[in-house]
Amino acid sequence: GESVGLHLPTLSVQEGDNSIINCAYSNSASDYFIWYKQESGKGPQFIIDIRSNMDKRQGQRVTVLLNKTVKHLSLQIAATQPGDSAVYFCAETSSNYQLIWGAGTKLIIKP
Amino acid sequence: EPEVTQTPSHQVTQMGQEVILRCVPISNHLYFYWYRQILGQKVEFLVSFYNNEISEKSEIFDDQFSVERPDGSNFTLKIRSTKLEDSAMYFCASSEGKKHGYTFGSGTRLTVV
């Protein structure tokens, strides 16, 4: 069936280093992908999105890479800061309305 | 920056009671959604709403659930007879288009006792 999954449930990164969070998806029809950040007790916060006609998209300190060949999505955070500590979710959608969410990766920043 | 606003932030209800969760989507958005997240689990889609009707719903969204846009600003989720397993965070979201600018609210934590 359709699914979105994450390789690593927890990622620990030294403050100042770059973080890479990975996501696998199985629905080849998905054409829109979003990364969300969720801090404890809060709602998902939009980080960045990418459409399937692109391989890479950059935002402020974040980059999303899409590899449609292997159905892989990654989020790169440059110069990770303590405020980046959160659970990160990837979500995908195809031709319908709903977002299908991955399980989440908890990013821990070490001082 | 425009926000999706949800009230209440926390609702405690007895099993079998009806609850209404309220949301004010971003004003120029046309698509509205409800998602839920059981503690420690992934976010799950419940329903999407466009042009005053349900456009898509998941298996979770059974007959005990209903949505309504009673006026030009509010979007509500009603659970008619709550069960213990309905305890979760319920997130409202809105978007400009089907694949553009999804914005989520802070959620309502529903606790059924």
Distance CA B96, CA B28 (A): 7
Question: Please, which pLDDT band fits residue B101 given cuts at 50, 70 and 90?
Answer: confident
Query: For residue B97, is pLDDT > 90?
Result: no
Give pLDDT tens digits for B77-96.
Answer: 999 999 999 999 999 999 98
The DSSP H or E segment spanning B24 is strand B19-24
How does pLDDT run along chain A (111 residues), one tens digit per residue? 344 543 448 999 999 999 999 999 878 999 999 999 999 888 899 999 999 999 999 999 999 999 999 999 999 999 999 999 999 999 998 867 788 998 889 999 998
Q: How much is the mean pLDDT over chain B?
A: 93
Query: For residue B40, is pLDDT > 80?
Result: no
- In this predicted structure, what is the pLDDT of residue A4? 54
What single-letter DSSP state applies at residue A82? G
- Minimal Cα–Cα distance from A83 to chain B, Å? 18
Nearest by CB: B56 against A34, A89, A96:
A96
- In this predicted structure, what is the pLDDT of residue B18? 98
B94 at the A interface (CB within 8 A)?
A: no
- Minimal Cα–Cα distance from A23 to chain B, Å? 14
Query: For residue B59, is pLDDT > 70?
Result: yes
Give the sign of the dihedral formed by CA A74, CA A106, CA A92, CA A26: positive
Tokens linked to A108: 């821990």
Q: What is the mean pLDDT of residues B20-33?
A: 95
Number of helices followed by number of strands (H, E) in chain A: 0, 11
Burial environment of residue B84 by CB neighbours within 10 A (0 to 12, 13 to 18, 19 or more): exposed
